[in-house]
Amino acid sequence: MFPHLPGIYNPTNPEYLEANRRGEINPEQAALLGPDGSKFFKKFQRGSKLNGIIILIILAFFLGIQAVGIELSTPMVLGAFGLLLVVLAVQAGRRWASSHKRASRLEKDLRRGVVHDAVGILHFGKDTYTVVVSGRPLRLPQGSKEGLSPGVSYRFYYLPESGVVLSAEALDDEPAERAVEGMTATLAEANGFHLASLSANQRGELSREQYPLLYRGLISPLIFILVPGGFLVYQLSRAGIFNGISLAGNFTNLKGMSTSLLVIGGILAALMIWGLVLLVQAVMDIAGGQVASVEDIGYRQVKTSTDDDGSKTTQLYYQVGGIKFRVQKRGFNAFEDGRNYRAYYTPRRKVLVNIEAVG
């Protein structure tokens, strides 16, 4: 889940820099980047997953042909699953070929021992950090950005064939200040926040650009209200609860319901009430137009739960000052653990609307 392994490979290690400035590769670098080091790092990396989209397409195909009245036959089923296996095999082959090509280039670079250098920056791309120098993307060593921050200019020492970064040294006069600005901008971009809203948030107010985010937050409470509520009313109507001409008559009909129906009705009513509470809180947050803030060292958290069918659900969080804020994968991967942050959130629902690195 984590995009790098803190403390294992640090590109700002002074011993690495000293050797790389001389155009040499430090023995420890060679060990970590070589075959033995790669095997070690693979223990911490997740394997590739099957392409669920392909499986869904095949299932949709089966449902579609059944819907038009075509009967499934054994050759048809075997052919579909054969096609699935071919596609998965091609994907696995492409991944293996790409991995083998990268490993061969890296091995060649380590044998040659040639070190290049160029000025560049750390950039957060689709879901992870990369290094960009003179328009060329470079690979972080084993995915580690330890000691590096976006927004700071670095001189990167790297291997020319594979493009793997060996080490980096900051070139800015005030790298700490630039790192704070760069991390704030990166988190805003990764989470879909607005940097221009920070000034309003620092005054304890929501900006105009942040209201659409809160409007989207009304959807979940409305679902909790309408879906269970509608189903509850439908079941009660079928049971004749509303056939009484008076409140006493309706109550009498209610007492005549089966225990199982009463239990189901109670669960649906509880869900509907919970949705109503969430809706009221969300509306009050929007109407109030205020934000609360907390400042402390921030960390990421992963919460995994297993559903009844065995499938796993993963939820990603920032934790700042004891408050957890749920975020998406891209924002999660952009976050740097152990840094001081100031998080801005709605006071009732605690929806994160902005975050900035401080100090």
Identify the CATH number of the domain in which residue 297 sits: 2.40.50
Contacts of 165 (CB under 8 A, 6+ apart): 11, 131, 138, 139, 140, 141, 156, 157, 158
Q: Is pLDDT at 315 greater than 80 in this prediction? A: yes
308 in any annotated domain: yes
Instruction: For residue 173, name the pLDDT band (cuts at 50, 70, 90).
Output: confident
Number of domains in the chain: 3
Mean pLDDT of 66-71: 65
66 and 157 in a single domain? The answer is: yes
Domain that holds residue 254: 216-288
Weakest mean pLDDT among 11-20, 211-220, 285-294: 211-220
Alpha carbons 236 and 253: distance in angstroms, whole number: 10
Alpha carbons 247 and 177: distance in angstroms, whole number: 68
5 in any annotated domain: no
318, with CB counted inside 10 A (0-12, 13-18, 19+), is buried
Weakest mean pLDDT among 120-124, 226-230, 277-281, 352-356: 226-230
At residue 31, the pLDDT reads 87
Q: Are 252 and 303 in contact (CB under 8 A)?
A: no
From 314, 279, 286, select the one nearest 300 (Cα to Cα).
314
Q: Are 141 and 11 in contact (CB under 8 A)?
A: yes
Share of the chain above pLDDT 90, in %: 45
200 and 323 in a single domain? The answer is: yes
1 in any annotated domain: no
Q: Is pLDDT at 52 greater than 80 in this prediction? A: no
Average pLDDT, rounded, for the chain: 82
195 and 333 in a single domain? The answer is: yes
196 and 255 in a single domain? The answer is: no
266 in any annotated domain: yes
119 and 190 in a single domain? The answer is: no
Mean pLDDT of 291-301: 96
201 and 349 in a single domain? The answer is: yes
At residue 6, the pLDDT reads 45
Q: Is pLDDT at 151 greater than 60 in this prediction? A: yes
34 and 73 in a single domain? The answer is: yes
Each residue of 75-131: pLDDT tens digit?
766 776 677 777 778 777 887 787 778 788 888 999 999 999 999 999 998 888 999
Q: Are 130 and 140 in contact (CB under 8 A)?
A: yes
Instruction: For residue 220, name the pLDDT band (cuts at 50, 70, 90).
Output: confident
At residue 3, the pLDDT reads 39
Alpha carbons 80 and 66: distance in angstroms, whole number: 14
7 in any annotated domain: no
At residue 152, the pLDDT reads 92
238 and 294 in a single domain? The answer is: no
232 and 343 in a single domain? The answer is: no
Instruction: For residue 36, name the pLDDT band (cuts at 50, 70, 90).
Output: low
Q: Is pLDDT at 253 greater than 90 in this prediction? A: no
Select the more confidently predicted residue: 344 or 36: 344
Instruction: For residue 69, name the pLDDT band (cuts at 50, 70, 90).
Output: low
Pick from 245, 270, 288: which residue ends a domain? Answer: 288
Give CB contacts under 8 A, 24+ apart, made by 1-5.
1/46, 1/302, 1/314, 2/300, 2/333, 3/127, 3/128, 3/129, 3/143, 3/145, 3/333, 4/129, 4/140, 4/142, 4/143, 4/144, 4/145, 4/146, 5/41, 5/44, 5/142, 5/143, 5/144
Weakest mean pLDDT among 45-54, 188-197, 211-220: 45-54
Mean pLDDT of 5-9: 59
54 and 145 in a single domain? The answer is: yes
What pTM was estimated for this model as a whole? 0.72
At residue 238, the pLDDT reads 66
3-state percent breakdown (helix, strand, coil) of the chain, nearest 5 = 50, 20, 30
Weakest mean pLDDT among 35-39, 198-202, 216-220, 343-347: 35-39
92 and 154 in a single domain? The answer is: yes
Instruction: For residue 254, name the pLDDT band (cuts at 50, 70, 90).
Output: low
9 in any annotated domain: no
192 and 136 in a single domain? The answer is: no
211 in any annotated domain: no
111 in any annotated domain: yes
Highest mean pLDDT among 32-36, 125-129, 243-247: 125-129
Pick from 229, 260, 288: which residue ends a domain? Answer: 288
Tokens of 328: 């998406």
Q: Is pLDDT at 233 greater than 50 in this prediction? A: yes
